[in-house]
Amino acid sequence: MASSVWKGYLSFGLLSIPIRLFTAARGDRIGLNQLHEVCHSRIKMPLFCPTCDRKVERSEIVKGYEYEKDQYVLFSDEDLDKIEPESARAMEILEFVKVDEIDPLYYDASYYLTPEEEGKKAYSLLLKAMEDSGYAAIAKVTMHQREHIVVIRARAEGMTLHTMFYQSEIRAVEEFSHQDKVEPKEQEKKLAMQLIDSLAATFEPAKYRDEYQESMRAMISAKQKGQEVTATVHPTRAPVIDLMDALRKSINAKPAVSGKKPPVRAINSAPAAKKSSKKATG
């Protein structure tokens, strides 16, 4: 059974719906450990105090904010509990907005929002109202020592919650905001639209895979067997000189999503490493 990351109330006017949040998505990647080349032992990173010149236990650790060089304001867990806002226990819906008005640039992490048993009726009512109206809810929630602005969306299976970046966290990059606009020719726009049409498809996330991670797993398996994976051949790419010619060639040779794994070949001259059967861990 999945563990919830937050438990509290979703407040909608005078309605308070007891809910839980569950992580909806998590990055999946192969982790490589740092090993000592001589003996293949895993390198450890001990907690060390340079002033006391000794290792310290986690029970000796406190939190602190550096306001000047080597000068800190100290905080205990009790101190942090004192300043928790109301959103640490209840999410109050501040307003309703159309989802397509939200720039995806603001989205951060995603969660499933589920009701407790006694809140199922009110949850279903709000879910149905949001589905029919086409609105999403904006609220605030505090978790992991931070107050997040969130958007709550209605989906067929239930509500999902997405934490968002604040406006102050969106970085302004001069090279992005001050680009010179070059007006393309009508024929170039027509060919570009043809290329888009030729690549148009219904979004199906299941058909996309992380081929780098697949290659990593193939390499791990090959090394355990004393084999190696042949190097990927990367195409040579040159700057586009003739835009019209490049568009025509692109339309005539529509690229396909590759599903091939890199080939594996045996190494007959070298046995597997002494600890090659050890499983890679995160």
Taking only the tens place, the pLDDT of each residue in 112-131 is 999 999 999 999 999 999 99
Q: Give the number of other CB atoms < 10 A from CB of residue 150.
A: 24
Cβ contacts of residue 247 below 8 Å, gap of 6+? Answer: 188, 191, 192, 194, 195
Q: Could you give the 3-state DSSP secondary structure of residue 19?
A: strand
pLDDT in tens, 13-59: 888 999 999 999 888 888 888 888 899 888 888 888 989 999 998 88
Q: Which helix (H) or strand (E) holds 247?
A: helix 243-252
Band (pLDDT 50/70/90 cuts) for residue 271 is very low
| Token pair in block for residue 113 | 């929002």
CA-based max dimension of the chain: 75
Beta strands in 58-134 (DSSP E): 63-68, 71-75, 90-98, 107-115
Is pLDDT larger for residue 65 or for residue 233? 65
Band (pLDDT 50/70/90 cuts) for residue 263 is very low
Distance from C-alpha of 21 to C-alpha of 3, rounded to nearest angstrom: 9
Alpha carbon of 66 to those of 20, 57, 204: distances in Å? Answer: 35, 21, 47
Provide the pLDDT for residue 31: 83
